[in-house]
A and B are shown apart, each in its own frame.
Chain A
């Protein structure tokens, strides 16, 4: 292996690509070559580094200097000053907007973060299986296959307390045990990468940044439950994820880390990629399975659950990308180590995606139980433009909306539901006081109208009615009776809809009515928007 004195990591996550990181990468490579530094300095395109709104982002190691919003015209200066003369280009280290974060290694940015799932994201070249292996990659699988019985693996998962990170928070070990105990000709592992919750892009960036960790985890799951085939179901819009994971599968197969008789253990496991075609509801596991079988992505009646009756009617484990991302570390470091993170009831970390009115938008991984205040003000750099916080929606568009009084609530899968909200997929939408609640509510409801699959009555008809009523209020035609109907309708949807989509569609409305009722009433009674920003 060649020795390089410096590594320049160029974030190749989709947000940075949109900001032109490829041109920056090419310019860097070109400039290094021109100056004869290409033998000394290596350019690595990595997965997402996190601060997505600062892209293109690059990090220079060994110093760990993070440069943000790097343009092609900045490249020669970085090479000249930093890589040749060893002087950090302060101008590009973000002293302006993101005060305090001058270096990727400095504690302010990472002190509150614990990177388990994202440990390789932004560090390694995701298209290189060697780099993954160099950071203990596939060691967890080897450990399972050579030192552990399948039941031991499940036991470790149970003890770790890991729960599903897609939103349902079902204990992963328990889920695996259902499938492990089922007797069938064939069993399947499905990685649910149909990330569609607005405001969520963690799975995309995990798949882009560290595809092998997901493949490894799937093979571990396969070993634990007795499955020999796995599928990664990725939404069709995520072309880079599809490309990276497909390449990852090829590499792993070529090295014998997937395929027949892995590590000579007799265990075989193969993975295929399936592409979605644009349907949010396919994030629901039975809808996903319907879609994989070539049907309309409509959820099935449960029970029976996929654990025993899944893909092709066979026992099937469906795990979210982030859930899987935890697994290799849990296997290597043990459940006790894992329980050291987060809260006793809800161990581990959570990946959040911060969007909306927040200074630092992007991807973070923090211990479970962290407060909203800490995320927004310490990690996210607060609200831009000197405005004040109004509301945070946790868990994506199907999550609840929390007011300022709730900023100190611990964020985990058990506390938020008590507040009428949900941790969900980990999307955090921050809204400042310039926005109108009713206007946002209307936007939320429009989403559900578009995404309802149309199978069950409460969701098919209910989402359209929720939207219709909120729209009426938004344009000043609402009545107090409408608020009562909204409540009854929300109750029926939450209690009787066939799947999580219809059950959670009313959550934003319910929490908004709970915490921001006065704003609805102003639209009804005074026909006025208190913020003066909506259509009224």
Chain B
């Protein structure tokens, strides 16, 4: 039993003061605290008075003990909190109005909440230049408040450990190794650091202007594809709570923005299942290499190229749905609609920052043009819709355009961890056995468990599958594979925790709770769709009949499959590697 601000509450041993207080409806202000990350206790904003303790204690880290008496709002506490916040603010730019996190910034909100009206310390910025070295992520170190949430995210959740504190004292900064730019180091570009960042020190590269310009250009035929996980998150950008699916309004909003055709990445998600499912069956038949590892997540792919180059032979050669769509839109769709591919401007709406990098890979030009011209994240599209003044809430529901607009429930769940695996199993089972699945719901691969496993009988063959989301979990499962400690036939890896619903390009905030809510919504959508297996998609059947001819065929090989590049774990320009380590 503990007493907080005069209220008594019973909590378990080991509970922090912060958790206990929240139970009582006392919301102690925090800044460096993040529900999914290791306690930092660096900002000293959440300090409270604990009877018997000489010093104020950080509520986020201090465990309660029986009969503890805590006061969270004394003059002493308020004065110290205010000074600590002023210290942070004095080292932070004041251009909130121009900041990408304007009105969605934890520091700004805290300053408002604590009623900061003046900062008594002289303002001094670090003067460190922007890092715009990657096509996906922009770092603005001057805005960094050294809370280290990104460090914990990158190290503990994503196992890349790209960001680390550098230097000492007031000059401490968070930076990539050797103070290199992000483009020089082994960064997956997953963008989870953006979700960790309370301020605008890390953000996606904003490509909205390129799209607005293309939309305004009458010579351009602008086509957009919408990724599975964006329809469940776009509402959050426009004032809705998480968990609602807005496919129809999303399509309508994109039309109002001026896109000539609004088609669906879900269509190529179904296509991916056909190609990848057949690849799995082929590898099983030909005796390997197994396990087959999924390739939809470009963050995972880049991570794998840096950290597991020896396992790249296991990775499916299928391009991601985005890139399959890109390759088809300037070939199949161009032919279908009679439009010169050079006039097609291909935009994709993605939950992902790594997709921006993927689209710019040199090998992603099999149509003869760059297959995807611009990748927009959910956040960027949210900004475009808001800027255009579209009344999203009152939009009618509209349908995707054909011929690449029809999809199944299997594609819908691509956005959640385990979804690709489940979608693949639905198809692989029926293709391999010729039988109908008794139950198409594979519960074992759903949910937010870090690594999920299941066994499926394909006729008389037992197939072992594994699912990992978040790169630390990916690393764990890949080490099991590398060390031959566990035998799998098929592994799904998603770079982001929760899968694409938790992607680095998704609305802020994105945390474990919200990832779960978005994922569940996708499973509901799946259940409500008339078609739930990729191989039943009529548009896919038509595509094979008219264009691709057969799975893994010659056209597929040219347009839908790719190869990977071994990359170094270390900055390469200073150190010649023996192999083609850097592309």
Interface residue ranges, A against B (CB under 8 Å) = 279, 296, 298, 301, 303, 449-458, 460-465, 468, 481, 485, 488-489, 491-492, 494-498, 503
Contact = CB atoms under 8 A, between A and B. Distances in A.
Contacts of B121: 465, 468, 485
B41 interface: yes
Contacts of B91: 461
A497 B87 CA distance: 13
Contacts, number: 102
Contacts of B88: 457, 461
Contacts of B61: 301
Contact of B90 (A303, A452, A465, A492): A465
Contact of B168 (A303, A453, A498): A453
A450 B169 CA distance: 6
B175 interface: no
A301 B76 CA distance: 21
A455 B147 CA distance: 8
Nearest to A302: B61
Instruction: Tell me if B's interface is mostly helix, strand, loop or mixed.
Output: loop
A449 B169 contact: yes
With most chain A CB atoms within 10 A of its CB, the pick from B47, B91, B120, B169 is B169
A12 to B, nearest CB: 34
B44 A279 contact: no
A492 B76 CA distance: 9
B170 to A, nearest CB: 4
B467 to A, nearest CB: 31
Contacts of A458: 44, 80, 83-84, 87
B41 A456 contact: yes
Contacts of B87: 457-458, 461-462, 465, 489
Interface string B83-119: 1100110110000000000000000000000000000
Contacts of B120: 481, 485, 488
23 contacts: A296-B168, A298-B165, A301-B41, A453-B168, A453-B169, A454-B146, A454-B169, A456-B43, A456-B44, A457-B43, A457-B44, A457-B45, A457-B84, A460-B170, A461-B90, A464-B169, A468-B121, A485-B121, A489-B83, A489-B87, A491-B76, A492-B80, A496-B47
B579 to A, nearest CB: 30
Main secondary structure of the interface of A (DSSP, over half): helix
Contact of B167 (A298, A454, A488, A498): A454
The 3 closest A-B pairs by CB, nearest first: A454-B172, A492-B83, A461-B87
Contact of A495 (B80, B168, B169): B80
A358 to B, nearest CB: 31
B146 A491 contact: no
B169 A296 contact: no
B133 interface: no
A458 B91 CA distance: 12
Nearest to A300: B41
A465 B169 CA distance: 12
A460 B47 contact: no
A452 B170 contact: yes
Nearest to B84: A457
B402 interface: no
B79 A492 contact: yes
Given A454-B168, A457-B84, A492-B83, 8 more contacts: A303-B62, A455-B42, A460-B146, A461-B170, A468-B121, A489-B83, A491-B83, A498-B44
Given A458-B83, A465-B121, A496-B84, A296 B165 contact: yes
B76 A495 contact: yes
A453 B151 CA distance: 16
B170 A464 contact: yes
Contacts of B168: 279, 296, 452-454
Among B61, B80, B165, max chain A CB count under 10 A is at: B80
B419 interface: no
B44 A460 contact: no
B47 A457 contact: no
B583 interface: no
Contact of B170 (A298, A449, A491): A449
Contact of A454 (B39, B44, B171): B171
A496 B87 CA distance: 13
A301 B39 contact: yes
Contacts of A452: 168-170
Contacts of A298: 165
B215 interface: no
Interface string B149-181: 000000000000000010111111000000000
B165 A496 contact: no
B122 interface: yes
B243 interface: no
Given A303-B63, A449-B170, A465-B90, A488 B44 contact: no
Contacts of A279: 168
A152 to B, nearest CB: 31
Contact of B42 (A465, A468, A488, A498): A498
A496 B55 contact: yes
A456 B42 contact: yes
Given A451-B169, A464-B169, A496-B47, A457 B79 contact: no
A266 B88 CA distance: 56
B56 interface: yes
Contacts of B63: 303
Contacts of B45: 457
B382 interface: no
Interface string B330-365: 000000000000000000000000000000000000
Nearest to A278: B168
B170 A463 contact: yes
Contacts of B84: 457-458, 492, 496
A489 B80 CA distance: 8
Interface in B116-136: 120-122
B396 to A, nearest CB: 50
A461 B321 CA distance: 47
B172 A460 contact: yes
A497 B169 contact: no
A14 to B, nearest CB: 26
Interface in B1-55: 39, 41-45, 47, 55
Q: Max chain B CB contacts within 10 Å: which of A279, A453, A458, A461?
A: A461
Contacts of B122: 468
A301 B167 CA distance: 20
A488 B83 contact: yes
Most B CB contacts (10 A, CB to CB) among A453, A491, A496 go to: A496
A279 B146 CA distance: 20
A270 to B, nearest CB: 32
Interface in B49-72: 55-56, 58, 61-63
B168 to A, nearest CB: 5
Contacts of B146: 454, 457, 460
Contacts of A451: 169
Contact of A488 (B41, B79, B171): B79
A451 B79 CA distance: 25
Contacts of B39: 301
A460 B62 CA distance: 21
A273 B91 CA distance: 40
Nearest to B145: A457
A455 B164 CA distance: 12
Nearest to B120: A485
B72 to A, nearest CB: 14
Contacts of A461: 87-88, 90-91, 170
B124 to A, nearest CB: 8
Nearest to B168: A454
A472 to B, nearest CB: 9
A162 to B, nearest CB: 22
A184 B80 CA distance: 39
Contacts of B83: 458, 462, 488-489, 491-492
Contacts of A481: 120
Nearest to A450: B169
Contact of A463 (B55, B167, B169): B169
Contacts of B167: 454
